[in-house]
């Protein structure tokens, strides 16, 4: 069955006093055959008998959907066979034994429609003895049957497309951007959730920024797109790291003496610095040099390996802040050049 059937049709269940021919016609009207254009779609669903009390109708339609049309309170309640229930504002008018009404809503798949109601009532006379022994006639009114026409405003909406999220960061902030929504029923809203599942931003735009974050820390976000019919789709999680703090440290290897010289910008809160390197033999970080300036030279490793370095800054209370971890390739110094051939001439 094509996409046109998704909006209203369900597996029908038996409804007493329902004209089978009308059911077949309504089902055929709802089918969208392969290759058929998704043009404006009008679906008529019939119903059989039901209850009527004080301007309130209650009945099952041909698809097994249970409807309560409450003309007194102005509400329609729709319960689909899968027990999904919707309520919408509803207007109704009764003229003699004819009931007309309308509402606008969205179905289980989120497709928006306007519904028009045409129902017929029937009155039945019942006779019997009253309490005083006299005879009286009682007239009851019930639903004889009718139909509801669902007029979809346009083509069935295609599925929502999940947003694609990108991110930029500073040491203490993250800015997310994502692709514009498509599919579904415009307009769209976007909600951003963090790694704890907390809704941290709601917007109709395509960006969101978060500040006051911890430097050098991973954060995870997802973006949920919601269309005007209430359908939602969620992006893949986006992990973004805030930048580690930096003093723009430069590590330069000196092959002549197998040392590394580090230079950096001053930290205004620091009174001293240490340059640490990772010692592969011990598996530990070692303090290679201490200084109150912004330059230090470190040595102490075998050549022809990669060595990791970082800079530690200390304030007056001894609180350490680490900066600029980097790998440096340390290589053996080149061999001396061969002697000049003239040295061998005698």
Residues 99 and 122 placed together within one structural domain of the fold = yes
CB 151 within 8 A of CB 44: no
* pLDDT tens-digit readout, 246-301: 999 999 999 888 899 999 999 999 999 999 999 988 999 999 999 999 999 999 88
**Which of 28-37, 132-141, 142-151 is predicted with the least confidence, judged by mean pLDDT?**
28-37
DSSP class of residue 333 equals P
CATH number of the domain that 265 lies in? 2.60.40.10
Model confidence band, residue 314 (pLDDT cutoffs 50, 70, 90): very high
The helix or strand, by DSSP H or E, that contains position 25, with its residue range, turns out to be: helix 20-30
Residue-range definition of the domain harbouring residue 227: 165-241
How far is Cα 22 from Cα 101, in angstroms, rounded to an integer?
21
On whether residue 29 sits in a domain, the answer given is yes
Task: Kindly state whether residues 68 and 101 are assigned to the same domain.
Answer: yes
- Comparing 13 with 323, the larger pLDDT belongs to 323
Please give the residue that has the higher pLDDT: either 101 or 15: 101
pLDDT confidence of residue 5: 33
Q: What is the pLDDT of residues 50-98, one digit of tens each?
A: 989 889 999 999 999 999 999 999 999 999 998 889 999 999 999 999 9
Q: Are both 85 and 136 inside the same structural domain?
A: yes
pLDDT-derived band of residue 239, with 50, 70 and 90 as boundaries? very high
From 152, 173, 192, give the residue that closes a domain: 152
| Total structural domains within the chain | 3
**Cβ neighbours of residue 336 closer than 8 Å, sequence gap 6 or more:** none
Q: Which tokens go with 272?
A: 């001293």
Reading the block at residue 25, the tokens are 């016609």
Strand partners, 236: none
């Amino acid at each position: 069955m094509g996409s046109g059937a998704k909006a209203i049709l369900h597996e029908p269940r038996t409804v007493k006093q329902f004209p089978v021919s009308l059911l077949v016609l309504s089902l055929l009207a709802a089918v969208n055959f392969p290759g058929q254009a998704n043009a404006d779609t009008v679906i008529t669903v019939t119903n059989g008998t039901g209850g009527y009390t004080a301007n309130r109708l209650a009945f099952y339609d041909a698809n097994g959907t249970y409807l309560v049309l409450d003309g007194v309170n102005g509400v329609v309640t729709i319960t689909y066979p899968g027990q999904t229930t919707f309520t919408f504002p509803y207007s109704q008018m009764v003229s003699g034994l004819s009931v007309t009404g309308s509402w606008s809503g969205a179905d289980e798949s989120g497709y928006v429609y306007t519904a028009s109601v045409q129902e017929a009532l029937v009155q039945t006379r019942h006779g019997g003895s009253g309490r005083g022994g006299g005879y009286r006639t009682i007239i009851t009114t019930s639903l004889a049957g009718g139909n509801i026409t669902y007029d979809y405003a346009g083509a069935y909406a295609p599925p929502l497309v999940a947003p694609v999220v990108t991110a930029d960061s500073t040491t203490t902030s993250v800015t997310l951007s994502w692709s514009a929504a498509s599919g579904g029923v415009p307009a769209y809203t976007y909600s951003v959730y963090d790694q704890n599942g907390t809704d941290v931003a709601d917007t109709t735009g395509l960006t969101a920024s978060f500040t006051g974050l911890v430097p050098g820390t991973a954060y995870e976000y997802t973006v949920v797109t919601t269309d005007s019919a209430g359908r939602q789709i969620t992006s893949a999680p986006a992990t973004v790291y805030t930048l580690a703090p930096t003093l723009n440290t430069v590590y330069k290897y000196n092959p002549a003496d197998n040392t590394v010289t580090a230079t950096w910008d001053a930290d205004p809160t620091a009174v001293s610095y240490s340059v640490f390197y990772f010692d592969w033999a011990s598996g530990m970080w070692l303090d290679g040099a201490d200084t109150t300036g912004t330059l230090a030279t470190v040595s102490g490793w075998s050549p022809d390996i990669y060595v990791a370095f970082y800079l530690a800054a200390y304030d007056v209370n001894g609180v350490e802040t680490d900066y600029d971890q980097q790998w440096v390739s340390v290589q053996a110094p080149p061999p001396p050049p061969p002697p000049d051939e003239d040295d061998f001439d005698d």
